[in-house]
C-alpha cells in the first residue's frame, strides 16, 4: 500500500516530455474543483536524489501551483526512468 506524503512543490521535477502535454484548460478546471472540494488524488512521484520526479499528475500539480500552494500530496512509487 502506498503512503501519502506532503512534499514541497519546488522539489518536484517535471520531465520535458511531460510538460509538452500540459492543457491549460484542464489546469483551470482542476484548480476550480480544488477550491470547492479540495484535492483528493495525490500525484505520483519517484525519488531521485534530493528531488522527486513526476510520474503522474501534471495537471493536478499545475493546479496546485496556480492556487499558490507550496506543498502537494504525493505517493512515492518505484518507476523506471524515461
Whether 81 is in a domain gets the answer no
pLDDT of residue 17: 86
CATH code of residue 29? 3.90.1530.10
pLDDT of residue 53: 94
Summarised one tens digit per residue, pLDDT across range 67-77 is 999 999 999 99
The total number of structural domains in the chain stands at 1
The C-alpha atoms of residue 10 and residue 69 are separated, in whole angstroms, by 10
Q: Which domain holds residue 8?
A: 4-76
The C-alpha atoms of residue 40 and residue 71 are separated, in whole angstroms, by 14
> How many beta carbons lie within 10 A of that of residue 5, not counting itself?
14
Mean pLDDT rounded to a whole number for the chain: 90
Summarised one tens digit per residue, pLDDT across range 25-50 is 999 999 999 999 988 889 999 998 88
Amino acid at each position: 500500500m502506498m503512503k501519502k506524503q506532503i512534499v514541497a512543490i519546488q522539489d518536484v521535477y517535471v520531465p520535458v516530455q511531460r510538460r509538452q502535454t500540459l492543457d491549460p484548460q484542464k489546469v483551470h478546471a482542476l484548480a476550480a474543483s480544488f477550491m470547492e472540494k479540495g484535492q483528493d488524488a495525490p500525484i505520483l512521484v519517484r525519488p531521485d536524489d534530493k528531488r522527486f520526479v513526476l510520474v503522474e499528475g501534471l495537471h493536478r500539480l499545475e493546479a496546485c501551483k496556480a492556487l499558490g500552494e507550496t506543498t502537494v500530496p504525493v505517493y512515492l512509487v518505484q518507476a523506471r526512468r524515461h
